Structure 1
Amino acid sequence: MSLLRVSMMLAGLAVLAGCATPLEQCLYAAERDQREISRELDERRGNLQRGFRIERVLTPVMESGFCVNAEGVLEPCMRWEHETRETHHRINPELEAERIALLERQLAREDGRVAQAAATCRATYPAE
C-alpha cells in the first residue's frame, strides 16, 4: 500500500473519529477488510484490462517559483514540490486472473462476515 494511500486513510479515520457516532465507527471498522479487498480487486481488474500494473511514487522535485520573504515581498526562490511518477510493470495475465478469482472468493466470504459484524454493531449501538 502506498504511503499516500495510508496517509489519506489515516486522515479519513481522524475525521471519522471526530464526528461519527459510535454505530458509524463500529460499522466503518467492520467493513475495513471488505473495502481493502474491493480496492485490490478493482486494481487487479484494471491491471488485467490494461495488460500492465501501474506503480505510483510520490517524488520530491526542486522547482523555481516565488516565495514571500520576511518583509512580505515576493522574490524568486527554489522550493521542494512533489509530483507523482508512474512506472508501468508487465503482468502475467494468467496469474493476475488467478489472483482476481481468489480475491472474488475472499470478498464473498468477507461479505458474510461484514453482515454479521454489522448486526453486532447495530445490537450494541441501537439507532441514536
Structure 2
Amino acid sequence: MKHFAILPALALIAACATPQEQCINTASNEVRNIRTGISTAQGNIARGYAIFKSRESYEVVDVCYDKDKKPYTCYNTEYRTIESPVSINVAEERRKLANLKKRLPAATRLMNKSVASCRVQFPE
C-alpha cells in the first residue's frame, strides 16, 4: 500500500521538475530499472523464493454525516498490500541476474552520455 500512496506524490514532483531534471530522469530510467532488477533477483536468490504483492480491498464501518451533519453508519473501502511467497527456478533467477549485471555497464555509459546531453540541451 505504501507504494501506491507514493505514486501521486512522484507525479507531482515530476510535474514540478525542471526540463533538465525531467530529461535526466528519463535518461536514467534504464539504469534504474536494471538496478532494481538486480536487487530483486539477488533478494529472490537469497530467500529461495520471490514475493508477489497484490492489493486487496476491504470494507470498514465508519461514521459519516449527512448534509445536516447528522451521523449515520456507513462503509468505506480501504486497501492493503498482501505479500505471498512464490516459488522460483533459482538457476533461471541466477541467469537473469547475470544478464542484468552484463547489461549494466553499457546502460550506464549510455545514461552518462544522455545526462551530459541533457545538461547541454537544458542548461540551468
> Structure 1-normalised TM-score?
0.82
2:87 is the counterpart of 1:117: no
Q: 3-state SS of the aligned residue for 2:68?
A: coil
Q: 3-state SS of the aligned residue for 2:76?
A: strand
Tell me the distance in 1 between the aligned counterparts of 2:39 and 2:68.
51
Greater relative contact order, per chain length (Cα 8 Å cut-off, separation 6+): 2
Tell me the distance in 2 between the aligned counterparts of 1:107 and 1:74.
58
Q: Which runs of 5+ in 2 are unaligned?
A: none
The 5 Å alignment of 1:1-128 reads 8=7, 12-17=10-15, 19-126=16-123, 128=124
Offset from partner CA, 1:27-86 (integer Å, 9 cap, x none): 111001111121122111111111111111111112222223332233322222111112
Shift of 1:11: 5.1
In the comparison of the two structures, how many residue pairs are matched? 121
Shift of 1:116: 0.7
Identity %: 27
In angstroms, what is the RMSD of aligned CA positions? 2.0
In the alignment, residue 12 of structure 1 is paired with which amino acid? L
Runs of 4+ in 1 over 3 A off after TM superposition: none
> Structure 2-normalised TM-score?
0.84
Offset from partner CA, 1:81-105 (integer Å, 9 cap, x none): 1111122101111111111111111
Shift of 1:16: 1.6
